[in-house]
Amino acid sequence: KAFTNGTADFAGSDSALKDDEIEPAKQRCEGNEAWHLPSTIGPVAIAYKLDGVDLNLSTANLAKIFKGEIKKWNDDAIAAENEGANLPDKNITVIFRSDESGTSDNFQKFLAGATGNWEGKGKQFPDSVGEGANGSSGVADQVANIDGAITYVEAGFAHQKEAEGVKIAKIDFGSGPVELSSETVGTALENLKFKDTGSEYNMVVDSSALFESKDAGAYPLILTTYNIVCSAGYDEETSKLVKAFFTTVLDNQNADLENAGFIPVTGTHLDRLKAAVDAIA
């Protein structure tokens, strides 16, 4: 709202502009299109606590766990994907976000797209299975306190709990188990597909294609946060400042960003973003 009413020069949003927001944004930009720059990348970790087990999970088993169809850690379906692992005869405790969240929204889209075995949607996660906790820190704390617990959470919060025994599962998206890392998220970013917006610089991620992808060595369970800017229509001074700001952002992604649970963009995707910033009039 601050962007479309002209009190902010750009916006940050976990979601692209809705259909009824596109025209107000265009008016705010003096009749020019607003562009989406997906420049903040936050991977979602499948975090769990299970002493002595380094876990592999297929997307199919992941959906079954969160639906309550797989209830024990030594279930045959999990054992088949973790040959040689000492899986305990222990109940699985599912932890979900009790508050509305973009992470829940995207995780449900992922489960539906990747498996076809998920009916829920939206920012409110179903409460029929497991225990709810408030916020990202809340679900991470809950998993750290319960041996046998599992959740979905932004990677940074999972890493903060590693000293308390929380681990991050490797996920098999269809081409073998993939560890969450800068490299595997980078591979997913290289293969991003975008919706047809009429401009190569207006990059709205096709989340369905992303979440259904099975590219080898890629970790596509990621959230893309958009910076939304005017393609043109700023006064000269504001245009210089906006371009300078985003150039600085893109040129200074480092270990601090990764330590906070985000992935510095590199390669083709970084080139796309820099070209868009350069093209702002």
Which H/E stretch holds residue 170? strand 170-172
20: in domain:
yes
Provide the pLDDT for residue 220.
Answer: 97
Intervals of the chain under pLDDT 70: none
H helical segments located in the chain:
19-28, 59-67, 76-79, 102-115, 135-145, 155-159, 182-190, 207-212, 236-251, 255-259, 267-279
Q: Which amino acid is at 45?
A: A
104/8 same-domain check: no
Provide the pLDDT for residue 256.
Answer: 85
* Eight-class DSSP state of 121: -
139/57 same-domain check: yes
Provide the pLDDT for residue 14.
Answer: 84
30/47 same-domain check: no
59/2 same-domain check: no
Domain count, the chain: 2
107/18 same-domain check: no
27/154 same-domain check: no
20/99 same-domain check: no
Q: What is the CATH number of the domain that holds 154?
A: 3.40.190.10
Provide the pLDDT for residue 169.
Answer: 98
Tell me which residue range forms the domain holding 7: 1-34
104/77 same-domain check: yes
Question: Global pTM?
Answer: 0.90
Provide the pLDDT for residue 52.
Answer: 93
71: in domain:
yes
Provide the pLDDT for residue 258.
Answer: 80
Provide the pLDDT for residue 112.
Answer: 97
Provide the pLDDT for residue 24.
Answer: 97
